[in-house]
Amino acid sequence: MALITKHLSLANPFLGYLHKLCNKYGDTILGLFWFIMVICFYLPAALRLFKFSNADVISLFFFIFGLASILGFSLLLLTPNNKQNNFALIYKIMVKWLKSPNKLKIILENKKAILLSIGKLLSFMIIFILILFIVSSVFLNYSDLSSLEFSWCMLLYTRLTIIFPSLYLMHIFSQTLKCIKETQLSPFVFHYPDYSISKMNYSILQLLSLFTSVVIFDLCIKPHIIRQLDIYYISKLKKDLSISNIKNNMDTNNIESINKNNNREFISSIYNNPDNMTRSVSLGRHLNKVYEMVIGGDGLYLFTQDGRRILDASSGAAVSCLGYGNKKVISAIIELLNTGTPYVASTFWSNPVSEALCNELIKGTNNLMARVYLTGSGSEAMEATIKLSRQYFYEGDKQTPRVNFIAREGSYHGNTIGALSISGHLARRAPYTPFLMENVHHISSCNAYRQQLEGETDLAFVARKAAELDAKFQELGPETVIGVILEPVVGAAIGCVPSVPGYLKAMKDVCDKYGALFILDEVMCGVGRTGTLHAWQLEGVVPDIQIIAKALGGGYQPIGAVLASEKVINALKEGGGEFIHGQTYQAMPVQAAAALEVLRIIIENNLLENVSKQGAYLEKCLKAELSDHPYVGDIRGRGLFWGIEFVKDKITKEPFDPQLGVAQKISALSISPKYNMTVYPGTGSADGVRGDHIIISPPYIVTEDDINLIVKTIKAVIKEVHEELANKITEIPAASEVPAASEEVPAASE
């Protein structure tokens, strides 16, 4: 460095001063410059190694390289004068110590220098840590750079961290060789040759080192750095995701929790585009309805474009079991995305995350189920179940007569053709009846409120239901029935109606009697919604096949699953050895990552206990506040899954005229700016067409204070709507204003 500035000083007096400065403090200046550069890359390398899942050999190399560089600079700072670097000083002391028979004497003779060196080194490390925190603070929070500027800055830093170490290490090497020559001492057996490095040769070595460093960086390391930058930047982008660019249009207090960091360009451009906020070309559920824009969420609350804060008392469609903005689930998804494989083709590959999720699900059944088939939704899971249950018999007899399914009226199992065929929801089936499977037969539901006779015990009621199922087997021919499909707690179709005690066992006994499969659909009531991880665990009635979805992904990813028993799996193993079914997006790693984290949070945070505790409190409050209301016919449910059915006459249980749209009115008023709360509306709870109900299914993280607010709001909304009805000021809406029957209830298995 001093040699280069000497030649440049001939052209400029200022450079002459620089030459003197470099000649005197060249080592320190070079070391300081290198020190600054290494910090710029040491930090992100360390972060990737310890925080992100994409740590690899190169990240480990840079981490170790950074530590070695710190140590090297520490030695440079301890240089006592400009003629001898600290490498040489340490080398001399080490050689004397090794060759001396009295090693303690050498230490005592040099104790002052050793203690001073240790003191300086500790001081330096403290200063370095402080600088590291300052640099990390600036580095991780400086988000005004565009992605291109960000990448170029990082590439500049990394290039310099390759160039300057080479210069610095070459300098150390030459100084050390010089020291060896001067001392003529070596702790090794062989002797060093007589090295002689002139200043000119040293400068040439520096230039060669510089050139070699650039070539190595461009050819070998730069591509890796670019890939790492992409991963790091995407991770930072997703973590910093907020809606700060539109906060002037919102109540700041409402979105404070999602507005902590600056937003990046991608999401900002979407939110700032008027077309995305005011004009819709999406085919939504209802073409004559304008849906309000949701732009954020936190906990139990959703935040809308116009600044409202909505308490989601239904968890959407009983989906968002952990609420919104759960950082652990979001981090799990980001970590999986950082692997670069959010999707792998199940035709060729498996993946550890999907396998871990399947293991966790089987563990959650106490190993009473054997295998898991992952899908993208509840409807897909039902379609897979239909095929799996048929194949169970087909593997043993290719000419098997078993083709019929038995399901229940007042049920809902999905919107795809097969799933809709199984469903007993009349309004949703109506437009597609010509397409539906003719081998599905329905019996009555288990609705104690509308079906149990006065004075009839639960035992007698269950016996009557079992006899009805047995009669259906006899009608169809027991040898033709594949299985019986039912919901332990009916969801959207009739509004959180649980089976009475003993019902599930009685139904399974009939299935076992005739060799049919007992299949439970827990898409809406499963994964902890009713207080146990699986709804059937309350009575211990294990199904042959089980379906789950909704709360499995918690709304963070679309995912469903089919759980099969050992009996079903063995039939496939002993047959063709494969499940003759498949979907492109089955067992996607990114879906599995979200679901696995949701399950872990439910278990580790004891949320099942909270579901039971708060569910009991919700039941108590609802019944205390609404049981005496003249239009509230029934309050039923389990865990955090409760339904309220409305009737025109409390004594006769006569439902309201469907054209009044009572459930829809309650839902619309509840979600209005006056109340800012969602409930899940439904119709058909009386006979498949008539009957109004709402579902209250808050996230599992709900507290007593939240429940008090939910019940208070529901009570006020019901009072206001039914005062309208009682005062006869409600007009029957025009046909264009009344949602089609198939649109009145959000899909239960989307």
Asked if residue 695 lies in contact with residue 412, where contact means CB atoms within 8 angstroms, the answer is: no
Establish if 318 belongs to a structural domain. no
Does residue 100 sit in the same domain as residue 178? Answer: yes
Residue type at 68?
A
pLDDT in tens, 568-577: 999 999 999 9
- Alpha-carbon distance values, 139 to 154, 236, 401, 546 (Å): 10, 11, 69, 49
Report the share of the chain in percent with pLDDT over 90: 55
Residue 320 lies in a domain: no
Residue 50: pLDDT band (50, 70, 90) is: very low
Is there a domain that residue 343 lies in? Answer: yes
Calculate the alpha carbon distances from 554 to 245, 325, 364, 490, 536 in Å. 28, 11, 17, 19, 20
Separation CA 694–CA 632 (nearest Å) = 11
Q: Does one domain contain both 696 and 577? A: no
| pLDDT tens for each residue of 207-250 | 555 555 555 555 554 555 444 444 444 444 444 443 333 333 33
Q: Is the pLDDT of residue 151 over 50?
A: no
* Same domain as 733, residue 614: yes
Instruction: Judge whether 749 lies within some domain.
Output: no
In a domain, 594, yes or no: yes
Closest CA to 318 of 487, 528, 500, 485: 528
State the DSSP string of 478-500: GGGEEEEEE-SEE-TTTTSEEPP
More confident residue, 4 or 489: 489
Domain of residue 639, residue span: 607-743
Specify the pLDDT at position 601.
Answer: 96
Place of tokens 């058909």: 684
Does residue 113 lie within any of the structural domains? yes
User: Given a cut of 50, is residue 617 above it in pLDDT?
Assistant: yes
Query: Do 171 and 278 reside in the same domain of the chain?
Result: no
Instruction: Provide the sign of the torsion angle of the four alpha carbons 10, 13, 14, 18, taken in this order.
Output: positive
pLDDT for 536 equals: 97
Do 293 and 426 fall within a single domain?
no
Residues 486 and 626 in one domain: no
d(C-alpha 130, C-alpha 109), whole Å: 34
Considering the domain architecture, whether residues 621 and 551 belong to the same structural domain is answered as: no
CA distance 538 to 638: 11
| 350-379 confidence digits (pLDDT tens) | 999 999 999 999 999 999 999 999 999 999
Average pLDDT over residues 622-647: 96
CA atoms within 13 A on the CB side of 157: 22
Q: Does 145 have pLDDT greater than 60?
A: no
Q: What is the 3-state secondary structure (H, E, C) of 229-267?
A: HHHHHHHHHHHCCCCHHHHHHCCHHHHHHHCCCCCCHHH
The helix (run of H) or strand (run of E) holding residue 355 is helix 352-364
Asked whether residue 738 is domain-assigned, the answer is: yes
The pLDDT of residue 449: 96
Average pLDDT over residues 267-277: 62
> Does position 139 have pLDDT exceeding 90, yes or no?
no
Residue 309: CB atoms within 10 Å: 18
Q: Please state, in angstroms and rounded to a whole number, the distance separating the CA atoms of residues 728 and 502.
A: 44
Note the pLDDT of residue 537: 96
Rounded-to-integer distance, Cα 466 and Cα 513, Å: 12
Whether 585 and 559 have beta carbons less than 8 Å apart is answered as no
pLDDT at 496: 96
In the numeric block, the tokens 């089609």 are attached to: 740
Average the pLDDT over each of 172-176, 250-254, 428-432 and give the range with the smallest value: 250-254
239 belongs to a structural domain: no
DSSP character for 633?
A: E
Over range 667-674, report the average pLDDT.
94
Q: What percent of the chain has pLDDT over 70?
A: 61
pLDDT on residue 72 = 54
142-151 LR contacts (CB < 8 Å, sep 24+): 143/236, 143/240, 143/261, 143/262, 143/264, 144/262, 146/265, 147/233, 147/237, 147/264, 147/265, 150/229, 150/233, 151/226, 151/229, 151/233
Do 574 and 624 have their domain in common? no
Residue in 405, 510, 502 with CA at minimum distance from that of residue 466 = 510
2 burial level (CB within 10 Å; 0-12, 13-18, 19+): middle
The predicted model gives 522-529 an average pLDDT of 96
Burial zone of 313 (CB within 10 Å; 0-12 exposed, 13-18 middle, 19+ buried): buried
Is pLDDT of 729 > 90?
Answer: no
CA distances from 130 to 123, 183, 273, 436, 736 (A): 11, 38, 43, 70, 68
The model carries a pTM of: 0.65
pLDDT of residue 39: 52
Stretch (H or E) spanning 641 = strand 641-646
- Cα 333 to Cα 327, 339, 357: the distances in Å are 10, 10, 14
CA distances from 713 to 293, 698, 707 (A): 22, 14, 10
At 286, is the pLDDT very low, low, confident or very high (cuts 50, 70, 90)? confident
Average pLDDT along the chain: 77
469 shares a domain with 434: yes
Residue 379 makes CB contacts below 8 A (sequence gap 6+) with 413, 414, 415, 416, 419, 560, 749, 750
pLDDT band at 105 (very low <50, low <70, confident <90, very high): confident
Tokens of 73: 């600079």
The per-residue pLDDT for 283 is 82
* The domain boundary residue, chosen from 286, 312, 338: 312
Highest mean pLDDT among 207-221, 246-260, 506-520: 506-520
Q: What CATH number corresponds to the domain at position 726?
A: 3.90.1150.10
All residues at 6 or more sequence positions from 688 whose CB lies less than 8 Å from its CB, including other chains: 409, 410, 424, 425, 426, 427
Query: 734: which 2 tokens?
Result: 């025009």
Q: Which residue has the higher pLDDT, 184 or 191?
A: 184
DSSP 550: G
Based on the fold, state whether residues 184 and 274 are members of the same structural domain. Answer: no
Final residue before a domain boundary, out of 312, 335, 355: 312
Residue 296 pairs in a beta bridge with 303
The reply to whether 597 and 624 lie within a common domain is no
pLDDT at 297 over 90: yes
How many domains is the chain built from?
Answer: 4
**Within 10 Å of residue 107's Cβ, how many Cβ atoms?**
13
Same domain flag for 353 and 376: yes
